[in-house]
Structure 1
Amino acid sequence: MNKKIYILGAGNMAREAYYIYKDLGLSDNIAGFIIEDKYLSAKRKLLLDRPVLSAAKLQPDKNMLVMAAIGSPKRRKLIQKLERKKIQFDTLVHPSVSVWESVKISAGCLISKGVVLTCDITIGKHTIININSNINHDCVLGDFVTIGPGTHIGGNVIIDEGSWIGIGTTIIHNRRIGKKCFIAAGSIVINDIPDGFLAMGLPAKPIRKMTDSDWDRLI
């Protein structure tokens, strides 16, 4: 790849994305990190020896790709702003990932070290799958889903767009997680979870509807 790469974000996930590129032999392509103007400061000019720049000032370039590496669901709005400017996004998969030929990975996804993806899985745009997670046959993950580290997902599971699956969660086969759900870390999901709910426990139970302030507090 000869294109320059900008990583959207400057937090923990952005640093992980940098090291995935490094493991792929592409760290020299990284031109910088881009963030919202409100987070720019004189004390935050460099990250991993790369400049931290304004995302708002980024302009389309056929020789440029952006990798969205923000764990928070707030990444959706930033990504959509850049997409409206016709900026192209990279798809980042660590070389250690076990992925079968029948897996479909959409644009903008970030799949971290040690992930296992078996057969006939579909992964939507800008979904993040964290380290050492296992996703089994015939699963469908919607756009902007976040899968926490060490998550185990059985076959034929559907996770609708915008949902967050916490660290170490287990979801048994043939279950559905609705849109914009938050599944707390360590939960075991044995029943479907309806749209927009916070769920937790062993087994996981819907507790209440998520609110905007919940997302701001939890993420």
Structure 2
Amino acid sequence: MKNIIIVGSGGHGAELDDYIRYGNKSGKDDPIKILGYLDDNPDNYHRYMFSAPLLGSIKGHEIRSDCEYLIGIANLTYRRKIVEEFLGKGAKFITYIHPESFVSESAEIGTGSVISYHCNIGPNAKIGRYSLINARASVSHDCEIGDFNFIGPNVCLSGFTKVGDENMFGINSATIPGLSVGSRNKIAAGMTLDKNVEDDSTVFYKIKERVIAIPKSN
């Protein structure tokens, strides 16, 4: 039995609670016991039905050596800062892979990352530390993803895509094969990247299409 504390009790923390409860009930995971949650805003905790108590604030928490931690904060503004503060105080983080996801045996998943349900992680894919691969996302063969990335639901990264650190890919976004995306970028929902992206960019554009229906001749 692995004992953990989840850092954050907002929406992502609630999802992690569900994932772990499902994994424990299914018998597909090694058992995990959630000792509790940390959050600087108790109102977050009370919005959801958690399986363990609120232990206190993130800021006031003293790192425990009898358990490990799982980051439950999806917001990249705070995710890296909190993880690095905890690591500096001696915390150890686990990697969590939902039992209903497919991860190739040749893929590499970094410490502290979360692979949500119904994800596909293809052959030779490399995912760095503390990244979140959200529900139904596909990271295809030979992709390389850095640290502290948020890959939203239904995102599709095609083969040989390279992604740096601290990027946010919105829901239903995608890449064509072989693209490079730098660091600290925001890719808006529904965007399909067909060219490389450097650093510190927001990718959003609207495509206006005129669709003409031509009736079939008899």
Q: Which range, TM-score by smaller chain?
A: 0.7 to 0.9
* Cα distance in 2 for residues equivalent to 1:133 and 1:46: 25
The aligned residue for residue 14 of structure 1 is 13
Q: Where in structure 2 are there 5+ consecutive unaligned residues? A: 25-29, 208-218
Q: Tell me the CA shift for residue 68 of structure 1.
A: 0.3
Q: Tell me the CA shift for residue 45 of structure 1.
A: 10
* Cα distance in 2 for residues equivalent to 1:116 and 1:40: 34
The amino acid across from 2:52 in the alignment is R
Q: Tell me the CA shift for residue 194 of structure 1.
A: 1.2
The sequence identity of aligned pairs, in percent, is: 25
* Cα distance in 2 for residues equivalent to 1:27 and 1:104: 22
Q: Tell me the CA shift for residue 49 of structure 1.
A: 4.6
* Cα distance in 1 for residues equivalent to 2:34 and 2:158: 36
* Cα distance in 2 for residues equivalent to 1:76 and 1:28: 24
Task: Select which of 48, 59, 72 maps to 2:62.
Answer: 59
* Cα distance in 1 for residues equivalent to 2:68 and 2:100: 22
* Cα distance in 1 for residues equivalent to 2:61 and 2:92: 11
> Is the Cα contact below 8 Å between 1:3 and 1:63 reproduced in 2?
no
The aligned residue for residue 27 of structure 2 is none
* Cα distance in 1 for residues equivalent to 2:150 and 2:22: 22
The aligned residue for residue 125 of structure 1 is 129
Q: How many residues matched?
A: 200
* Cα distance in 1 for residues equivalent to 2:18 and 2:31: 8
> Is the Cα contact below 8 Å between 1:45 and 1:51 reproduced in 2?
no
Moved more, 4-13 or 57-66: 57-66
The aligned residue for residue 210 of structure 2 is none
* Cα distance in 2 for residues equivalent to 1:127 and 1:136: 16
**Structure (1/2) with the larger strand percentage:** 1
- Is the radius of gyration larger for structure 1 or structure 2? 2
* 1:72 and 2:72 aligned: no
* Cα distance in 1 for residues equivalent to 2:190 and 2:47: 37
SS of 2:15's partner is: helix
Q: Where in structure 1 are there 5+ consecutive unaligned residues? A: 204-219
SS of 1:24's partner is: helix
In the superposition, the TM-score normalised over structure 2's length comes to 0.85
In the superposition, the TM-score normalised over structure 1's length comes to 0.85
Moved more, 88-97 or 48-57: 48-57
Q: Tell me the CA shift for residue 56 of structure 1.
A: 2.9
Deviation string 1:108-132 (CA, Å, 9 cap, x unpaired) is: 0011000001110111110000000
Task: Select which of 162, 182, 188 maps to 2:186.
Answer: 182
> Is the Cα contact below 8 Å between 2:34 and 2:51 reproduced in 1?
no
The aligned residue for residue 52 of structure 2 is 50
Task: Select which of 156, 163, 188 maps to 1:159.
Answer: 163
Deviation string 1:132-170 (CA, Å, 9 cap, x unpaired) is: 011111111110000000011101111110000000001
RMSD between aligned alpha carbons?
2.1
Q: Tell me the CA shift for residue 193 of structure 1.
A: 0.8
* Cα distance in 2 for residues equivalent to 1:9 and 1:33: 6
SS of 2:202's partner is: strand
Moved more, 54-63 or 181-190: 54-63
